[in-house]
Amino acid sequence: MPPSAPLFWMKMSLVTKLLHTRYRVNDLERTVTFYRDILGLEEVKRHKSPRGSELVFLRTPGSEELIEITFYPGSGPVQVQPDLTHLAFEVDSLAAFSQHLARHGLKYSDGPTTSSSGSTFAFIDAPEGYEIELIQKAKT
């Protein structure tokens, strides 16, 4: 803040809450099915925007933040660069989640790996190539 800024700006938070994160996709239904059936997210709302994009908002149990999955053909095809971005979710057990993945014909793309803090993490690939990180926190 510049020195001439009013004092109230220094005490006020400019943003107050993360509301959602958007991922644009080529196949809306395939992606929504993945997040629902593989990760257990709940579809909260679905609508078409005035620009013509189709939007589906998903929520993780226990979180307020939403994930917005968007299909917008006017922007051309989605091409996700490797290691560009990922979403991270906490799981109770990576071993149990691995069994869940196997029942769906999937497996981890990387890991599990245990960090120096004792937490263990692994990655799976979502449709369109977005990475999903799964974290099993260290037992304290």
Domain shared by 65 and 88, yes or no: no
Residue 132 falls within a domain, yes or no? yes
Domain shared by 67 and 45, yes or no: yes
**Domains: count for the chain:** 2
Residue 26 falls within a domain, yes or no? yes
Band the pLDDT of 6: cuts 50, 70, 90. low
Residue 79 falls within a domain, yes or no? no
Domain shared by 60 and 105, yes or no: no
Tell me the residue ranges of DSSP E strands in the chain: 20-24, 42-48, 54-59, 66-71, 86-90, 110-114, 120-125, 131-136
Q: Is the pLDDT of residue 40 over 90?
A: yes
Look up the CATH number of the domain holding residue 126. Answer: 3.10.180.10
Q: pTM to 2 decimals?
A: 0.85
pLDDT of residue 38: 97
Residue 122 domain boundaries: 84-140
Q: Is the pLDDT of residue 131 over 80?
A: yes
The tens digit of pLDDT for each residue in 42-98 reads: 999 999 999 889 999 999 988 999 999 999 988 889 999 888 889 999 999 999 999
Domain shared by 68 and 114, yes or no: no
Band the pLDDT of 21: cuts 50, 70, 90. very high
Query: What is the arithmetic mean of pLDDT over 30-50?
Result: 96
Domain shared by 88 and 52, yes or no: no
